A = this chain, B = another copy of it.
């Protein structure tokens, strides 16, 4: 069985394990106060062209999202997010468990528009009974989205402008950030994110690390006392060096982008094959996740050899499924998939 069902099936880039081994008996202070974390922070600031940013390391995405949001909001404030956003649907209520409502904006492709955001903010701040409702005070987006789509630089720029106009924090979940940065269609750099957002994170777990996310805080108002919040939400790793070392490895020598490019290339090979076969795509994703729509028979045939994620039952006998590539995807595994797809019988999988 070859797994394409998620982008964290393997461990990490071998360089990280080597570095962990080489540094294993160094004696370091705990809680990310060690030289590796220091250097990783410096490399990340350079990567984002954000010399004044605070950089914190956390273990996972849900932890990062809930910690940032809890740090940013007062109790009556909530989070604007796409209805499909990870914080709205796939964190078991982690945001609500910190006391905050997620205010969903309808989305078909995982993205929200500046007009939607402005409309939601206007609706609230012009409501004479606003105080009976949750005050939107942070915009959460993901880049790329959970659906593989990406925001253009222009889209990010107007989202940022709306947020600043209304005094709303702009936060970007970059669990798969490398795969957006590496997409040929992408025109928003890490430096753009640092400039336009108040906070964002650079995902490690899904992009080459064993685990770990680097949260970049650029807004001065979000920096104060953040380490207390880290500790309180269970996100302060005792051996912080593990996070520092991993991000050193990812940020050195363009590694993060290089491994991301590999993943995107493999995903695009799949995409081309799906399209050539006449399979519609649920979303037009330029990144490492691809969402072909296939019929039951095709699912069964592919399922004998490959694992993939069931994304949505379309109710007409067809299912949207998800294939993921990652930094670890072997080209030969994709070769095999492509070859098997070509030999599938024609005629199934009706078009949209």
Contacts and interface: CB of A to CB of B under 8 A. Distances in A.
A183 interface: no
A113 interface: no
Interface string A56-78: 00011111001100110011101
Contacts of A225: 74, 76, 131, 135
B30 A10 contact: no
A306 to B, nearest CB: 11
A234 interface: yes
A131 B228 contact: yes
Given A11-B241, A93-B134, 4 more contacts: A2-B27, A76-B231, A92-B232, A94-B232
A206 interface: yes
Q: How large is the interface on A (under 10, 10 to 19, 20 to 34, 35 or more residues)?
A: 35 or more
Given A59-B59, A134-B93, A76 B24 contact: no
A78 B97 contact: no
Nearest to A18: B21
A266 interface: no
A60 B234 contact: yes
A60 B211 contact: no
Interface centre among A20, A61, A75 (most CB of B within 10 A): A75
B132 A92 contact: yes
A232 B70 CA distance: 14
A75 B62 contact: no
Contacts of A328: 25
Given A101-B96, A232-B75, A232-B76, A133 B27 contact: no
A97 B98 CA distance: 8
Do most interface residues of chain A lie in helix, strand or loop, or is the interface mixed? loop
A161 interface: no
A132 B91 contact: yes
A239 B75 contact: no
A229 B74 CA distance: 9
A188 interface: no
A235 B101 CA distance: 19
B20 A17 contact: yes
A92 B134 contact: yes
Contacts of A210: 20, 239, 242
Given A17-B20, A233-B234, A234-B235, A26 B8 contact: no
Interface in A216-261: 225, 227-239, 241-242
A318 interface: no
A93 B97 CA distance: 12
Contacts of A331: none
A334 to B, nearest CB: 14
